């Protein structure tokens, strides 16, 4: 099979991260020390060769690109300081930009000016739109300031846009990987596909491959990258589930969103009445999920500031943007919950917190397919495709070079 060669691929990749892969002389040390490379697997070495040879199509169609968790051991031990770990991270950013059709991801990853202009523009747009549709200023109830229907409809619209771009990205990724896999895709049974999906979902849920990185052995469990990833991921999903359940209660029982839940109120005519503890349980679930998300994002921000190892020492503006939005959405969520129980539901302050919380949440949704947040979809899919082709639960699987 012939391959188109892009002689400018390395300069293009350098725009997506700080590395000097031109110093690599293909010694193979990176693959030898990588705890995730096993048997005849050649990553990151093979991917670096793709970059050096200008084989963009092979790079973007590689499953192995997403099987690297950037432990950093390859960069720590590289005799030429070629930063193979950062090359892999840069290549993943390049792939995200290559999969999505709008070009926004490319600009977010490569231009600091555009990153801050874009986030400012969409935040101002969301804020002005919400304020223009705000409820009666005389209404004391906090959640009457931004009607639930407005937030719901706006969230659905934003979600549709993000989902459409993500779907196009996944289809593009699949087609590239399928072409690269060739005949290996044929002859697979439904049972094999289900088994591969189960293994990929299990890895996505628990991220056990992180345990193979030596960083986890040298750091307390509560501050490892695995803990950071799991708390942010499960915290975010937990809050999403709590929000969905709250909406379900509105549909089924007419429970007003944001109404303070007081489990000891015995008057069935009180808006705070919660006879079965259902509302209280959902609020508790959301609170625990919020704690996890804020903990993970706070720890990630701290580690990016202190730069304790190779992984945390390389931060792009888009990395900071994602983490600050997650942190802001979590913190304002807790403040909003507290405001509900304050006199007059915290008045003007409560409404400002409410507005910031909704805007930060919308920003996160709309940015999903354009930032590293997208790896939450691309990596599990690559894991599934690798498992589907190789049937290996633990190794990365070899691709023909």
Here the CATH number for the domain that contains residue 66 is 1.10.1060.10
Predicted pLDDT at 122 = 98
The least confident of 50-64, 137-151, 257-271 is: 257-271
Res 399 pLDDT > 60:
no
Res 394 pLDDT > 50:
no
The last residue of one of the domains, among 99, 134, 161, is 99
The last residue of one of the domains, among 38, 69, 99, is 99
156 and 17 in a common domain:
no
- Whether the upstream peptide bond of residue 137 has omega within 30° of 0, thus cis, is no
Burial class (CB in 10 A: 0-12, 13-18, 19+), 390: middle
Average pLDDT over every residue of 233-239: 96
Predicted pLDDT at 173 = 97
Q: If pLDDT is split at 50, 70 and 90, which confidence band does 200 have? A: very high
304 and 160 in a common domain:
yes
Res 351 pLDDT > 80:
yes
Predicted pLDDT at 250 = 75
193 and 77 in a common domain:
no
Predicted pLDDT at 237 = 96
Q: How many domains does the chain have?
A: 2
360 and 262 in a common domain:
yes
334 and 304 in a common domain:
yes
138 and 28 in a common domain:
no
Cβ neighbours of 341 (radius 10 Å): 11
Q: If pLDDT is split at 50, 70 and 90, which confidence band does 398 have? A: very low
Res 270 pLDDT > 90:
no
Domain assignment of residue 396, yes or no: no
Predicted TM-score (pTM) of the model is: 0.90
Average confidence score pLDDT of the chain: 87
Domain extent, residue 41, equals 9-99
Q: If pLDDT is split at 50, 70 and 90, which confidence band does 44 have? A: confident
């Amino acid at each position: 099979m012939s391959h188109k060669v892009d002689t400018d691929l390395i300069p293009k990749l350098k725009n997506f991260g700080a590395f000097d892969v031109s110093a690599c002389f293909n010694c193979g040390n990176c693959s030898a020390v990588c705890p995730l490379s096993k048997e005849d697997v050649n990553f990151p070495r093979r991917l670096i060769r793709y970059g050096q040879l200008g084989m963009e199509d092979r790079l973007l169609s590689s499953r192995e690109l997403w099987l690297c968790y950037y432990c950093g051991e390859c960069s720590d031990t590289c005799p030429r300081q070629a930063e193979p770990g950062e090359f892999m991270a840069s290549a993943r950013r390049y792939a995200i930009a290559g999969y999505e059709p709008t070009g926004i991801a490319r600009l977010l990853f490569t231009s600091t000016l555009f990153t801050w202009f874009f986030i400012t523009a969409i935040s101002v747009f969301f804020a002005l739109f919400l304020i223009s549709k705000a409820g009666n200023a005389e209404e004391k109830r906090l959640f009457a300031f931004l009607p639930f229907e407005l937030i719901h409809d706006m969230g659905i619209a934003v979600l549709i846009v993000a989902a459409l771009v993500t779907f196009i990205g996944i289809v593009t990724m699949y087609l590239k990987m399928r072409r690269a896999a060739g005949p290996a895709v044929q002859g697979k049974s439904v049972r094999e596909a289900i088994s591969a999906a189960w293994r990929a979902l299990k890895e996505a849920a628990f991220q056990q491959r992180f345990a193979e990185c030596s960083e986890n052995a040298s750091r307390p469990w509560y501050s490892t990258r695995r803990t950071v990833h799991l708390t942010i991921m499960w915290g975010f999903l937990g809050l999403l589930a709590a929000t969905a359940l709250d909406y379900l209660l509105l549909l089924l029982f007419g429970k007003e969103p944001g109404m303070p839940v007081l489990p000891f109120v015995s008057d069935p005519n009180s808006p705070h009445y919660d006879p079965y503890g259902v509302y209280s349980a959902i609020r508790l679930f959301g609170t625990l999920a919020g704690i996890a998300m804020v903990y993970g994002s706070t720890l990630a921000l701290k580690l990016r500031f202190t730069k304790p190892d190779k992984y945390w020492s390389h931060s792009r503006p888009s990395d900071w943007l994602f983490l600050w939005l997650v942190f802001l959405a979590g913190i304002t969520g807790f403040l909003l919950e507290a405001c509900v129980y304050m006199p007059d539901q915290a008045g003007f302050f409560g409404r400002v917190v409410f507005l910031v919380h909704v805007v930060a949440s919308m920003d996160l949704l709309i940015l999903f397919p354009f930032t590293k947040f997208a790896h939450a979809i691309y990596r599990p899919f690559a894991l599934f495709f690798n498992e589907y082709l190789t049937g290996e639960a633990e190794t990365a699987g070899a691709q023909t070079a």
